[in-house]
Structure 1
């Protein structure tokens, strides 16, 4: 069938082209409801390509232009191949994996889909992958009752994590970012303290708010070397470092405290743990969203049509106030 899909044609160059999709026996054809723009998509847009080869296998197809992309998304199953057993026409599904969701239809195998639970709005279902990843991170972060938690980076995942930390009983949750609007939104959703690191030294602020002890849990969600080093420097003795971002370029980091202060390092990337782990965690991670305990809708700051994909990507890439950009 003929479909319209967005593809990268060069660095910061994107087009919506018509192409042919031909589902095979193991494939599920999905009519796209919407797709979200992720930090990884912005990296690809900027020409920052994740490493491949050896044990690095996240991008499972060779990167070359034109490159059709998009991995956050959801929609309705139109048809299934003869070997498909888990899905049928009419099912509402969420995408997980590099299935090219910036398209009015996309093809995925069963391993790259999850059913949408009853009661979940399809805009949120189309962000199922980033929601579930962020909630999983918060639930597995080892935040305890009475902890001081610092979230470095108040984008989509940081906003979700901050809400979860508060719900888990953190005494205080401190958000670090350079954009006042993101910090103000986080405060409206329960953040206790907001620190704009463009104006205030964040390490000094954290030490002041913790009586010089440092935070029990430091959460890195900004994806920069500076953010990782701040987490390393501001966590207390015997504290927990939680890593969420996928940093694809080499960084320099002083890690002497990992040994000297007995720090615990936690990696919370759900989709990188594998399909079986994901299947177990999807219902658990969506439960607090369905219960209304975690607010997602306020994090959708911009919405564009597929035909406006170039503008959508520019907004996600250049507008510092953008949190989650949705493409329909």
Structure 2
């Protein structure tokens, strides 16, 4: 089969490799669309495997069943499936407490995490039994269904922090995730959504997702801009959706007294964010970290992604063959693309 193999940082080669064997209690999924995620790009451009190469990334996987094992009875050849990368044991303390996204059973959590930048992926029987595989209706495109994965964490975040009317919400970062957040915030009833970024092209593209005001932080002080736009009070909620420590530092200066700040974007490992703790203390600012989604949230996010209420066609700006994965990475990094979806069979 054809696959995009990573041999090191920025060394991604599309070449022929062995098709995976079908597990006797599992299946082989023929991948029709796979989204290019920001975390994929971070992994592909750094020494993410610490020398353990080659490796196939890609986790926003949709396709149809190409082959089933002799002991597999749940699915049949031809079924259209969305493969959620998270898998939860539902037995550990984290799962039982309602935070299955933090499942401490690492063996279970890694059952279906990656391997999507290829024409086929094997799905084990244990993954099928544990769940996280959803049927794609016949009238929904594979490209649209692939957005079910990146939407999941956004869906969970906005639900967990109760974004809604009459919130003024500030989103720092106009990448795909920031755009998802803006659109979903409006669906949830946020009164005003303000987007901050340093890339004017990204900000212009983001305006179609219900954003009321954009702020280019390379042209003006974003903290002062938010204070001005909110009559000096600050926003009800601020989400830092970038991989940059500086935006986390800025975010607590943009939120109102008693407001909520969310650290959504992962920053470089080992890096430290400088915070004004007196400001946090005396202004009663709440800070929440966000990662992942529960099983319930992943299913509902997928249902939203394939529904008419969510304009998937606006988010997918580039559809490229797998051979052009490196072009897709550059389009995303420069801000020319909102969401790149790769087709392994084109």
What range is the shorter-chain TM-score in? 0.7 to 0.9
Matching of residue 14 in structure 1 with residue 29 in structure 2 = no
- Distance in 2 (alpha carbons) for counterparts of 1:25 and 1:287: 30
> Residue 100 of structure 1 corresponds to which residue in structure 2?
115
> Residue 273 of structure 2 corresponds to which residue in structure 1?
252
Please tell me whether the aligned partners of residues 23 and 122 of structure 2 are also in contact (alpha carbons under 8 angstroms): no
1:135-188 deviation per Cα after TM superposition (whole angstroms, max 9, x unaligned): 232233322311110011111111111112222222211001122232223222
- Distance in 1 (alpha carbons) for counterparts of 2:30 and 2:132: 13
- 1:289: how far off? 3.7
- Pairs within 5 Å for 1:80-99: 80-97=68-85, 98-99=113-114
- Pairs within 5 Å for 1:23-38: 23-38=22-37
Matching of residue 72 in structure 1 with residue 55 in structure 2 = no
> Residue 57 of structure 1 corresponds to which residue in structure 2?
none
Any idea what SS the aligned residue of 1:233 has? coil
1:221-271 deviation per Cα after TM superposition (whole angstroms, max 9, x unaligned): 112111211212211111111232222421332151443332223344234
> Residue 319 of structure 2 corresponds to which residue in structure 1?
303
- Distance in 2 (alpha carbons) for counterparts of 1:140 and 1:292: 23
Any idea what SS the aligned residue of 1:102 has? coil
- Distance in 2 (alpha carbons) for counterparts of 1:283 and 1:45: 28
- Distance in 1 (alpha carbons) for counterparts of 2:161 and 2:142: 28
Matching of residue 292 in structure 1 with residue 308 in structure 2 = yes
1:273-295 deviation per Cα after TM superposition (whole angstroms, max 9, x unaligned): xxxx32x2234223444443332
> Residue 53 of structure 1 corresponds to which residue in structure 2?
none
1:103-145 deviation per Cα after TM superposition (whole angstroms, max 9, x unaligned): 0111123257522342432101123211222223223332231
> Residue 95 of structure 2 corresponds to which residue in structure 1?
none
- Distance in 1 (alpha carbons) for counterparts of 2:69 and 2:283: 55
- 1:63: how far off? 5.9
Matching of residue 316 in structure 1 with residue 304 in structure 2 = no
Please tell me whether the aligned partners of residues 248 and 273 of structure 2 are also in contact (alpha carbons under 8 angstroms): no
Distance 1:229 1:116, change over 3 A: farther
| Structure 2 unaligned residues grouped into runs of 5+ | 86-112
> Residue 94 of structure 2 corresponds to which residue in structure 1?
none
- Distance in 2 (alpha carbons) for counterparts of 1:49 and 1:226: 23
Q: What is the TM-score normalised by the length of structure 1?
A: 0.86
| Structure 1 unaligned residues grouped into runs of 5+ | 51-61, 272-276
1:11-39 deviation per Cα after TM superposition (whole angstroms, max 9, x unaligned): 21111122221122343210011111111
Please tell me whether the aligned partners of residues 34 and 342 of structure 2 are also in contact (alpha carbons under 8 angstroms): yes
Distance 1:35 1:145, change over 3 A: same
- Distance in 2 (alpha carbons) for counterparts of 1:295 and 1:124: 9
Q: Which moved more, 1:174-183 or 1:77-86?
A: 77-86
From 130, 133, 140, give the equivalent of 1:114: 133
Distance 1:261 1:293, change over 3 A: same
Distance 1:314 1:289, change over 3 A: closer
Please tell me whether the aligned partners of residues 302 and 322 of structure 1 are also in contact (alpha carbons under 8 angstroms): yes
> Residue 45 of structure 1 corresponds to which residue in structure 2?
44
Tell me how many residue pairs correspond in the alignment: 308
- Distance in 2 (alpha carbons) for counterparts of 1:213 and 1:297: 36
From 120, 145, 152, give the equivalent of 2:165: 145
